[in-house]
Amino acid sequence: MTATQPEATGVSNPLLNVGFRIPFDRIRPEHAESAVDTLLAQTQAKLEDLARSGERGFANFMADLDTLTEQLDTVNTIVHHLDSVNSSPEWHAAKMAILPKTSEFYTKLSLHPGLWAALKAFAETPEAAALDPVRARHLKLTIDEFRREGADLQGADQERLLALNTRLAEVTSEFSKNVLDETAAFEMYVPTERLAGVPQRVQDATRRDAESKGKDGHRLTLHAPVLVPVLTYADDRELRRDLWLANSRVGQQEGRDNRPLIREILRLRREKAQLLGFRDFADYVLQDRMAGSGTRALAFERDLDARTRPAFERENDELRAFHREQVGVEAPELEAWDVSYWAEKQRQAKYDFDEEALRPYFPMDGVLAGLFEITRHVFGITVAQSEAPGWHPEVRYYTIHDETGTHVASFYTDWFPRDSKRAGAWMNAFITGGPREHGVEPHLGLMCGNMTPPDGDTPALLSIREVETVFHEFGHLLHHALSRVEVRSLSGTSVPWDFVELPSQIMENWVMERGALDLFARHYQTGETIPQELFDRMIAARNYRAANAAMRQYSFGLTDLSLHVEFDPEGDADHVTYARDLMATFNPTPLPEHYAMIAAFNHLFSSPVGYGAGYYSYKWAEVLDADAFSRFAQEGIFNRETGRAFVDSVLSRGNSADPAELYREFMGRDPDADALLRRSGLL
C-alpha cells in the first residue's frame, strides 16, 4: 500500500470490522490485502492465546475455537466473491495477493502444535465429557479434521503440506480465471438470416447486444442464455457447429490453457492425500461424507450407469431413426452439435411441446414472488425485499422472518450474465448467525446465476430449467437461513457434500406441481395461468430423454472419480485423452479429438477441493430428494406439518447430527435407492 491510498488502511478500510450490513458500495480492490493482513495478525494473536488454554483453563475453549477465524472468513469470502461477480485485473490481483497468505494461515492453523495439544488436552477433561450431543460432535469432528489436515505431521512433512496447499490455491485460481477470461473473450457476429429457427426473444437480445458494441447483426457469446437456445433451435447447422466447437475449446487457448494445470492439480491433490495417510484424493475427501470412500462412490455411479444404459441406448436409437425420417438416409450422421436441435424436434413431434411456450409464464419477478409464497406456505417464513448496498446495480436484497416475526436471515440476489461474472449458478454464505444468549443473530447469504436477462421492455422470461435453478439455489439459501445450530462450524450448509444438495434439489420438485405453479406461473402480458393442455404436455414430456440427462451427470461424476482414483497423474497416459475417452461412452455421438470439457470444468478444478472427487454427490442427493419428496407428495405439497418436520429434521440442523440420522428422523427409514430411477421413468 502507498501513502496515496489512505482509504485502504486503518479504521477507514471498509473490510475491517465488517458487520451485517456489508458496505459493498465502498469496497475496492486496494482494500483487500491491507484488511487481510490486519485480520491475519489479529487472528494469529487470538490463536496463540487459545493455544495456551491449558494455562488459563478451558472455559469456552471450543466456542472460542469455533469463532476464531470468523472475521477473516467473511472478508476472504467477500474478496473471492467480488472477483467472481465483478472480475477485473485489479480484483484478480487483489485475490491473488491474499491467496498465499490465507492458504498458509489456514494450513498452519491445523498444524499449530500448541493448539493441537490444547485441543487434545481439552478432550480429556471432565468438561469435554459433559458436553451436550451437538458440542460433543463439534469436538469429535474438530479433532478428526485436525488429523485430516495434518496435525500429526512433523517437520519436513508439515512444510511440504503447507507448500502443497499454497500451490493448490494458486493453480486452481488460475484455472478459474482462464475459464472466465476465455468465455468473456469469445464473440461472434452473424446476420439475422443465420438465426432462423432461434426464438425471437434471443434474436432481439443478441441484436441489441451487437448494437451496444457498435456492430451490425447479432452478437453471439458463450453465455448460457445465448448458447443453449442457438444449439437447440438454430436451423443453420454450421452455426451450431461453430458455437459448439468454440464452447468445447474453452480452457485450451494459448495463454489460457488449463490442460497442463489439470495434471498439476491432480498430482498435488494425490500427493497431499498420500502425505496425510490416504490412498488417493477421493478417499481423503470422502472419509467424512456419506459415501465414505472413492471405491463406494464409484460403485454407486457405476450401478446407476448399468441400470440406465439400456434406456440410454434405446433413446439414442430412436433419435437417430427420427433424424433419418426427417432428412433421409443419405443425410450425414448426427454430430454433437446436432443432438439438442434434433432432440427438440423429436420432443415437439412426440409431445407437441416446446419449452419456449412456457417462458411467457415465468417472468423473473413472478417466479421469485411465487417461490417466496410457496416457502411461506410450506416452511412458515416471510421474504420481503429491502435495501442494502450491492456490488452491481442489478443486485437485490431481501430479508427473511419466521412465523414469530424474528429476523432470521437476509440475502442478496444477482441473476443475470455479465462478461465480468463467472458462469453458472451458486449460493454462498457471508455471515453465519443462529441462536445466541441474547436471542437470534440473522444469517447473511447470496444467490447468483446467469439467467435469461430482460430485453428492452420485455422482462426476464425464464426457461423451465432456469426456474428449477432458482428454486435449487433458494433451497441452499434456506439451509443456511433457517439453521438453528449454536455452533458456527456445524451450521447451515456446513454438512457433508453428498448431503448438502438434498435441501436444494428437493425444492425443484415444486416446479412440476400444478398447485405450486398456479401460485406464480402467470403470463407476463395477460396474467393467465398455464393452460391445462400445455401443463399436461409438459408433464408428459418431463422424462423425455431422461436417460441421456442422467448419463450426462454420470459422465461428470465418473470422470471426476476416475481421475482422482484410477488415473495416475505421474504416469505417461494423457489425462485429457483419458477423460475424453471416458466421457465418450456417455455421449450419444462421437466426440472430436480436441474435446477437453475438463479444461473448463470449474466444479472440479477452480478451488483446492471444491467438488473434486465429489461430483457424484449431485446424484447421491438426487436419490435422497426423490425419496424425501415422496412424503410431501403423500401428505400434501403445502402441508405445513410436513414442512415443519423438514425444517426441524434437516433445514435447521446443519451438521449437528449424522446426516443419515437426520434423514431417518424425517422419513422414518433409510433412503429408497430406487426412488430416483422411478421418478425418472427409468425403472
Supply the DSSP symbol for 385. Answer: E
Joined together, the cell numbers standing for residue 261 give 494445470
Between CA 570 and CA 324 the distance in angstroms is 46
Helical pair 617-635 and 659-667, crossing angle rounded to 10 deg: 20
Q: What is the largest CA-CA distance in the chain?
A: 85
Calculate the dihedral angle through the C-alpha atoms of 618, 257, 184, 563, rounding to the nearest 10 degrees. 0
- Can you read off the three cell numbers belonging to residue 204? 432481439
Task: Kindly state the DSSP code that residue 442 receives in the 8-state scheme.
Answer: P
Q: Is 6 exposed, middle or buried (0-12, 13-18, 19+ CB in 10 A)?
A: exposed
Is the dihedral angle over the CA atoms 608, 613, 616, 620 positive or is it negative? Answer: negative
Torsion sign (Cα): 506, 508, 510, 512: negative
DSSP summary character for residue 461: B
Run of H or E residues at 398:
strand 396-401
169 close to 608: Cβ distance less than 8 angstroms: yes
Catalytic residue among 473, 486, 501, 508: 473
Q: For 595-632, what is the HEC assignment?
A: CCHHHHCHHHHCCCCCCCCCCCHHHHHHHHHHHHHHHH
Query: CA angle, corner 103, sides to 101 and 106, nearest 5?
Result: 105
Categorise residue 228: left if φ over 0, alpha if ψ from -120 to 50, beta otherwise: alpha
Residue in 375, 497, 373, 493 with CA at minimum distance from that of residue 427: 493
For 441, list phi and psi in degrees, rounded to 5: -95, 135
Smallest CA-to-CA distance from 381 within 401, 411, 366 is with 401
Q: Using an 8 Å Cβ cutoff, are 468 and 358 in contact?
A: no
Element (H, E) at 89: helix 89-111
In the residue annotation, 473 being an active-site residue is answered as yes
Burial class of residue 259 in the structure, from the number of CB atoms within 10 Å of its CB (0-12 exposed, 13-18 middle, 19+ buried): middle
| Neighbouring residues of 645: CB distance < 8 A, sequence distance ≥ 6 | 666
Active-site positions? 473
